[in-house]
Every structure is written in C-alpha cells, then in structure tokens.
Amino acid sequence: MRSFVILALLGFFAQLVDGALGMAYGVTSTTLLVGVASLTPALASTAVHLGEVGTTAASGVSHWRFGNVDWSKIVWLAIPGGIGAFLGAVALVSISAQAAEPLVAIFLFSLGVYVLARFSFRRNEKPVVVRPIGKKYLGPLGFFAGFMDAAGGGGWGPISTPTLLSSGRMEPRKVIGTVDTSEFIVAVCASVGFFFALSFADVPWGVVGALLAGGVIAAPIAAYVVRILPTRILGTAVAGVILLTNARTFLRAVGFGDQPSVMYLVYAVIAVIWIAALVFAIQMVRRERTAVERPAEISPS
C-alpha cells in the first residue's frame, strides 16, 4: 500500500508538471521507475505509457474544457506521433535511443535559451503572433517526438513543446493543450507497440494503476493553471524547465559531463537567470495591463 501511494504521488506530481508546462511526465516517471523501482527501461516505459493512456485522456478533456486546444493541429501532430511511438516501442526492446540523446539535448537546450529570451526579455514586441503552422512541419516533428518518447522513455513534450513555442506562432497555452491532447494517441500507439514486443504478464500493472490514479487527479488542476497564466509568464516557465531538464545531457555532449563542479555551477546559473526572467516577465505583464487600463480610465464619459 505504501509503495502504491508513493507511486501515485509520483504520478500526480509528474502530471501536474506535464499538464501545466507541456512536458516532463515521461522523463520524470521513467527516470524514477528505473532508479528507484529498479524496472528495466523497457518495462518502465511500458508502465509510463500505459498510465498515460488514462492521464492524457483526462488531460485532453481538461484542456479542451478550458479552451487550451488547437484542434486544427491535432491530426497532423498526433497521427505521425503515434506511428513514431509504435516503432519506438518495438525498437526499445532491442536497441536504445541513447545515441541520439546528446544531439537532441543540444538542440533542445538551444531552443530553451531562445524561448526564454523570446518570452521574457522582449520589451516592445509581442512574444506570439498567431499564424498557421503547416502539416509539413507538424508531421516530421510528431514522428520524431513520438519515436523518441517511446524509445527513450520520454520525449513527446520535451521535443514538441519547445519546438512549437520557438516558432512564435501559437500561444503557450495552446501549445501545451494541443501537445498534451495529442499525446493520448502517442500513448495508445506506444502501448500497442510494447504489447507486440513484450509479454502481457511482464507488465507491472500495479505501477500502471498508481501512476494513473495520481495523474488523473492532477490533470484538471494543471489545465486550469495553463488557462489563467499570462503568455509571457507561461512561456518563461516552460523555458526554464527545458533548460534544467536538458542541462546535464547537454554538458555531457560538449565534454563537461564528468565535472560535477561545472554541472552544479551551470544549474545555479540557469536557476538565477530563470528566476530573474520570471520576475522580469511578471513586471512586463503588469506594465502591459496598466497600459491597457489607463486609456479606459481617462476616456471621456
């Protein structure tokens, strides 16, 4: 019972972060299941994706109810993502996606820097100008993110969310809601792939149930948070998570992975810059609101 409660709390926390910031459920859950519960990467990823079938359904409904979903992009993102996830799940049994991790980390870390600058430090320019995003862009993105999600134990949100945010063509809440809702298809296809590659009896159903229970409770809370947070603050919050979650692999890729002092220093610098960016973003939101309210106050009656 105790282990079930702990895993349920893990599922709650992971879904709360994922539903509010569009990423980190798979990465957080898989890492802890491998390190703490001593599951193999394949079984950990299987448990996470089976749990996500329920949590992403609850998250998708919650985001839809709060108006966070751009339905015109769901099909072009989710279907290629599902195909990639199925192939990634089958591949995980025999190969590993670790070879691609350094390049992906460098790419995502760079995107994190760009997103942070775009949403927090631009004074006189809107961080988002809503424009169409073509299916030729969404399809390859969905396929690659889906494959890495299943094969690497997480990656749908960490790859899809910053890439779409960096385009500046979608509001952060729409990016998060659309990515989270699309993930239902990805989770279903990945789960089918794992059933093809693994025995049904090997699945840790207790772990799946615990993750599902915690995640379903957190889903509507996270969707509401996304609905009420301003664009600048939400984009800045996501950027910080992108940088922190990719920093370690990024440092390894550039040759500093074996130096703890450098790693801790980089984490500290990221944290300080992130906090400063959040403060600046909050100040900018207040100024923008004041600028909107003043004309209404001085307008003739």
What distance in Å separates the CA atoms of residue 168 and residue 186, rounded to the nearest whole number? 24
In terms of phi and psi (left: phi > 0; alpha: psi -120 to 50; beta: otherwise), the region of 153 is left
Which residue carries 């840790």 as its tokens? 204
Whether the Cβ atoms of residue 218 and residue 58 lie closer than 8 Å to each other? no
Q: What is the pTM of this model?
A: 0.78
> Which amino acid is residue 244, in one-letter code?
L
Q: Where are the domains of the chain?
A: 2-298
Confidence at residue 68, expressed as pLDDT on a 0 to 100 scale: 93
pLDDT tens across the length of the chain (301 residues): 677 888 888 888 888 888 887 777 777 787 777 766 777 777 887 888 888 899 999 999 999 999 999 999 999 999 999 999 999 888 876 655 556 667 767 877 887 888 888 787 766 566 677 788 888 899 999 999 999 888 776 778 888 988 898 888 888 899 999 999 999 999 999 889 888 877 777 788 888 898 899 999 999 999 998 888 888 888 888 888 888 877 887 888 777 767 788 888 999 999 999 999 999 989 888 887 787 666 545 555 4
CA distance readout (Å), 111 to 46, 143, 281: 29, 19, 18
What distance in Å separates the CA atoms of residue 53 and residue 260, rounded to the nearest whole number? 37
Confidence at residue 274, expressed as pLDDT on a 0 to 100 scale: 92
Q: What are phi and psi of 259, to 5 degrees?
A: -120, 95
Confidence at residue 188, expressed as pLDDT on a 0 to 100 scale: 94
In a 3-state reduction of DSSP, which class is residue 171?
A: coil
CA distance readout (Å), 113 to 130, 144, 166: 21, 21, 10
DSSP string, 200-212: GGGS-HHHHHHHH
Confidence at residue 35, expressed as pLDDT on a 0 to 100 scale: 65
Q: Which residues of 271-296 are buried (b: 16+ CB within 10 A; e: fewer)?
A: eebbeebbeebeebeeeeeeeeeeee
> Which amino acid is residue 247, in one-letter code?
A
Q: Nearest Cα to 183, choosing from 37, 1, 33, 26? A: 26
What distance in Å separates the CA atoms of residue 137 and residue 169, rounded to the nearest whole number? 12
Confidence at residue 294, expressed as pLDDT on a 0 to 100 scale: 61
